[in-house]
Amino acid sequence: MTEPRIEHHRPVEYRLADHRLQRDGFTVAPAADGRRIEVTGSCPGCGGHTTVVWEYGIPSGHKGFLGRSKARSIDRPVGARTVYCDCGHVHANRPAEAWDQGCGAYWQVELP
Ligand SMILES: [Zn+2]
Ligand SMILES: [Zn+2]
């Protein structure tokens, strides 16, 4: 049995908000295969758990699944990258056209 992940999610209303560069509370984990970087942490807006995966170095013609939280680039992403809340919770007043699955918060994470 694994402990359920502790999540302090707050049911805030959906709002596009820039939370700027977040230095603490985010784990940046390059995958062993050297083609992915995974950033996990808690949304500064609602506290929900968010995982963003960057894939890179993918040869053209690769038929892979492009998830909504995945972005691709040929070069390994470095520096400050924008991350959107993807907590998966339903937030009040979320516009129907919103493409993210979170509270509307976005922020930057520094990739090494
Ligand atoms: Zn949320
Ligand atoms: Zn959020």
**Would you say 94 and 110 are in contact if contact means Cβ atoms under 8 Å apart?**
no
Which pLDDT belongs to residue 93?
95
Write down the residue that tokens 């995945």 correspond to: 70
Span 41-76, pLDDT tens digits: 999 999 999 998 888 886 554 444 544 445 566 788
Q: What is the mean pLDDT of residues 73-95?
A: 90
- List residues bridging with 82 in a β-sheet: 108
Task: Determine the distance separating the centroid of ligand 1 and the alpha carbon of 53, expressed in angstroms.
Answer: 18
| Per-residue confidence band for 3, with pLDDT thresholds at 50, 70 and 90 | low
Task: Determine the distance separating the centroid of ligand 1 and the alpha carbon of 105, expressed in angstroms.
Answer: 9
Spatial distance between the Cα atoms of 50 and 30, rounded to a whole number of angstroms: 16
For residue 2, what are the contacts with CB-CB under 8 A and spacing of at least 6? none
Nearest ligand (C-alpha, residue 90)? 1
For residue 1, what are the contacts with CB-CB under 8 A and spacing of at least 6? none
Span 8-36, pLDDT tens digits: 899 999 999 999 999 888 999 988 888 88
